[in-house]
């Protein structure tokens, strides 16, 4: 990812995704907003007990970078499922209910989602001029939300998965994502060679001899979902949100007392 400082805002772009007259995108860090701790400072979400005026001020800064505001981007009420909605300009300013994937091929539509450890998924089809933005925590990952996004783009826009350019954004990494039996068995059911996604604790770790715990490689699992759906090009952010709470909000590392950082994908 490319790191960009713009006044107080610090955000990231993927090398492989367009940021030009065709489409624009950004993954925002937590820096450059007006919220106070533990939402410091660029918290985008009202699902945490931050002050409304501050969240709206943060949103103005983030969406303003795209010449937009809260009323002119599409939002989603995320539910950790595999439902994908096709949206258009008419959905700008609305909250799409019960979805974790948004796709569009209509210029002027701006997709937005907020995160704190779950995986941001970006999809771009240069041939069909279409984009997708998704949200996959462990639940969305084991039900293959990224694959559902690819299939929805094929169904609605005629996308060939081999044409798609994908990016996996900052999420909690295998260094920090300790999981128990429920997640382990879900990953074992969902993936081939699950042992390669579930690392044993290092010797010396407090749970080194506890057979019920593993470290789940969430970004790699989503890369595999995309590849299994036929996507050839997947760029990885390389950032762990829990390691980098200076840059990102992390639900796990901050024990739930934190905000949400923003992502935006605009089709022009
Ligand atoms: Zn980490």
Q: What is the pLDDT of residue 75?
A: 97
Separation CA 154–CA 164 (nearest Å): 10
What does DSSP say about strands 165-168 and 233-236: parallel, antiparallel, or unpaired?
Answer: parallel
Spacing, Cα 174 to ligand 1 middle (Å): 6
Spacing, Cα 173 to ligand 1 middle (Å): 5
Spacing, Cα 253 to ligand 1 middle (Å): 9
For ligand 1, an ion, list residues with CB under 5 A. 173, 175-176, 240, 242-243
Where b means 16+ CB within 10 Å and e means fewer, 19-41 reads: eeeebbbbbbbbbbbbbeebbbb
The CATH number of whichever domain residue 83 belongs to comes to 3.60.140.10
Spacing, Cα 231 to ligand 1 middle (Å): 26
Spacing, Cα 245 to ligand 1 middle (Å): 10
Using the 8-state DSSP alphabet, how is residue 72 labeled? G
Q: What is the pLDDT of residue 65?
A: 95
Spacing, Cα 218 to ligand 1 middle (Å): 11
Cβ–Cβ under 8 Å, residues 226 and 234 = yes
Q: Using alpha carbons, select from 261, 244, 242 the residue that is nearest to residue 252.
A: 242
Name the pLDDT band for 201 (thresholds 50, 70, 90): confident
Q: What is the pLDDT of residue 203?
A: 73
Q: Directed axis angle between helix 218-228 and helix 145-157, to 10°?
A: 30
Spacing, Cα 12 to ligand 1 middle (Å): 18
Q: What value does the CA radius of gyration of the chain take, rounded to a whole number of Å?
A: 18
**Bridge partners, residue 27, by sequence:** 12, 263
Q: What would the pLDDT profile of 114-160 be if each residue is shown by its tens digit?
A: 999 999 999 999 999 999 999 999 999 999 999 999 999 999 999 99
Q: 12 CB contacts (<8 Å, ≥6 apart)?
A: 1, 2, 3, 4, 26, 27, 28, 29, 170, 237
Spacing, Cα 124 to ligand 1 middle (Å): 27
For residue 78, being part of any structural domain is answered with yes
When divided into structural domains, the chain yields a total of 1
For residue 201, being part of any structural domain is answered with no
Backbone angles phi, psi at 227, to 5 degrees: -65, -40
For residue 140, being part of any structural domain is answered with yes
Spacing, Cα 219 to ligand 1 middle (Å): 11
Using the 8-state DSSP alphabet, how is residue 55 labeled? H
For residue 240, being part of any structural domain is answered with yes
Q: What is the pLDDT of residue 209?
A: 61
Separation CA 185–CA 138 (nearest Å): 12
For residue 71, being part of any structural domain is answered with yes
Spacing, Cα 171 to ligand 1 middle (Å): 9
Spacing, Cα 87 to ligand 1 middle (Å): 34
For residue 7, being part of any structural domain is answered with yes
Q: How many residues does the chain have?
A: 268
Spacing, Cα 205 to ligand 1 middle (Å): 15
Q: What is the pLDDT of residue 207?
A: 67
Cβ–Cβ under 8 Å, residues 3 and 10 = yes
Average pLDDT in the 181-203 region? 94
For residue 159, being part of any structural domain is answered with yes
How far is the first Cα of the chain from the last one, in angstroms, to the nearest whole number?
Answer: 21
With residue 140 as reference, give the H or E element that holds it. Answer: helix 138-142
Q: Using alpha carbons, select from 182, 178, 181 the residue that is nearest to residue 199.
A: 178
Residue 65: count of CB within 10 angstroms of its CB: 19
Spacing, Cα 165 to ligand 1 middle (Å): 25
Spacing, Cα 260 to ligand 1 middle (Å): 17
> What range does the domain containing 58 cover?
2-171+233-267
Spacing, Cα 175 to ligand 1 middle (Å): 4
Q: What would the pLDDT profile of 21-34 be if each residue is shown by its tens digit?
A: 999 999 999 999 99
Spacing, Cα 7 to ligand 1 middle (Å): 28
Q: What is the pLDDT of residue 166?
A: 98
For residue 15, being part of any structural domain is answered with yes
Q: What is the pLDDT of residue 205?
A: 72
Q: What would the pLDDT profile of 210-265 be if each residue is shown by its tens digit?
A: 678 999 999 999 999 999 999 999 999 999 999 999 999 999 999 999 999 999 99
With residue 223 as reference, give the H or E element that holds it. Answer: helix 218-228
């Amino acid at each position: 990812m490319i790191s960009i400082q713009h006044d107080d805002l610090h955000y990231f772009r993927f090398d492989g995704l367009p940021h030009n007259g065709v489409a624009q995108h950004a993954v925002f860090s937590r820096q450059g907003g007006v919220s106070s701790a533990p939402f410091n400072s660029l918290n985008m979400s009202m699902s945490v007990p931050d002050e409304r005026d501050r969240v709206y001020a943060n949103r103005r800064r983030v969406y303003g970078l795209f010449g937009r505001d809260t009323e002119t981007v599409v939002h989603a009420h995320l539910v950790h499922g595999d439902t994908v909605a096709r949206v258009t300009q008419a959905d700008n300013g609305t909250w799409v209910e019960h979805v974790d994937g948004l796709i569009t091929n209509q210029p002027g539509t701006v997709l937005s989602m907020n995160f704190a450890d779950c995986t941001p998924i970006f999809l771009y089809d240069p041939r069909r001029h279409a984009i997708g933005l998704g949200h996959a925590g462990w639940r969305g990952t084991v039900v293959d939300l990224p694959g559902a996004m690819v299939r929805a783009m094929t169904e609605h826009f005629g996308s060939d998965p081999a044409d798609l350019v994908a990016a996996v954004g900052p999420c909690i990494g295998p260094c920090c994502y300790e999981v128990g039996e429920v997640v382990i068995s879900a990953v074992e059911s969902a993936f081939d060679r699950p042992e390669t996604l579930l690392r044993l604790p290092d010797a010396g770790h407090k749970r080194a001899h506890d057979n019920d715990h593993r470290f789940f490689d969430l970004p790699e699992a989503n890369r595999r979902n995309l590849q299994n759906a036929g996507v050839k090009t997947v760029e990885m952010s390389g950032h762990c949100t829990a390691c980098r709470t200076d840059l990102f909000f992390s639900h796990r590392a901050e024990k739930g007392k934190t905000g949400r950082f923003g992502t935006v994908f605009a089709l022009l």
